[in-house]
Copies of this chain bind each other. A is one copy, B any other.
Amino acid sequence: MTMKDAIASFVHDGDTVSLEGFTHLIPTAAGHEIIRQGRRNLTVVRMTADIVVDQLLAGGCVTKLVSSFVGNSSAGSLGELRRRIEHADPEPLAFEEYSHYGMICRYLAGAQRLPFHPLRSYAGSDLPSVNPGIRKVTSPYPGADGEPEQIYVVPPVNPDVTIIHAQRADRSGNTQVWGLTGVQAEAVYAAKKAVVVVEEIVEDEVVRSDPNRTVIPSHAVHAVVACPRGAHPSFAQGYYDRDNAFYRAWSHISKDPARLREWMAEWVYGTRDHAEYVAKQGEEFWAGLAVGEAMSLPVNYGRRL
């Protein structure tokens, strides 16, 4: 499926859309296509709301954000996000805030169809006072001191669609990821539909030679999109490196609304699709992000004699 068709089919105005990938394999190209297609009133769920979220905000796609970290990695700030939250400029942004493990537990509960997931954080934090979704349960077992024990819980999240980026999948959607695997599998299982964007679609034999590498089986996947370099400016282990210069630049680009509009006009609205975005960067640029080889040693799965 093309990215255009996948976004058209699986992302609708008003949907709750999860985009996951922790620093590694961020589905940027999918975010850009959502902007190009002009989706509105989305609730975006993403642990680390970073550049792609700032861009979706700038595209006017998002009315609500569910997240545990709103910053440009360690490289600075997200200009559009800060304007939305600090000044309601150009409009307010509803923000449902959690911690990282709170978000992970929401995906776990969503994936496992649980009414809640307990976790040992939030006690004493001000976060529950601004997020009524964070609640407490009394354990039916006595605590270490023999007294009733309380614990915080978070509710499940079940996005209408989860979009992730991965290194490779077969045609039917068996998806393989290596390096940082993040929370992608849980986010996919939590969703009603899932779109997997990959660096390459490979032959069935490649996937089947190493079934433990498959982090998401085909039964959980509704569309597979081939989109090389679709995680830029983040990285794809073994394919291309992180574009740290762009992360640093983003703080400056996004700080100035005019400059941000220009950037969006040139790189998102001004490109028909990600292939054009890639071509526009130029081969020299990509050569700068190229990586060498460090191959895994094979293991023997065995064959009946």
Contacts and interface: CB of A to CB of B under 8 A. Distances in A.
B141 A116 contact: yes
Interface string A107-135: 00000111111111000000000000001
A302 B235 CA distance: 11
Contact of A296 (B293, B299, B305): B299
A304 B151 CA distance: 44
A286 interface: no
Interface stretch (A37-45, A57-65, A237-245, A274-282): A237-245
A291 interface: yes
Contacts of A116: 118, 139-141
Interface stretch (A84-92, A208-216, A265-273): A208-216
Contacts of A167: 299
Contact of A137 (B137, B209, B293, B295): B137
A111 to B, nearest CB: 12
A213 B176 CA distance: 13
A118 B120 contact: no
A297 interface: yes
A181 interface: yes
A115 B135 contact: no
A293 B300 contact: yes
A238 B303 CA distance: 8
Which among A118, A119, A120, A238 has the greatest number of chain B C-beta atoms within 10 A?
A118
A290 interface: yes
A178 interface: yes
A210 B140 contact: no
A149 interface: yes
A155 interface: yes
A300 B179 contact: no
A1 to B, nearest CB: 24
Contact of A302 (B241, B299, B302): B241
Given A114-B120, A206-B297, A295-B301, 13 more contacts: A115-B141, A115-B151, A116-B141, A117-B118, A181-B212, A209-B296, A241-B304, A291-B302, A291-B303, A292-B304, A293-B302, A294-B301, A296-B299
12 contacts: A114-B119, A114-B120, A115-B118, A118-B118, A137-B137, A179-B301, A206-B297, A210-B296, A238-B299, A292-B303, A293-B303, A294-B301
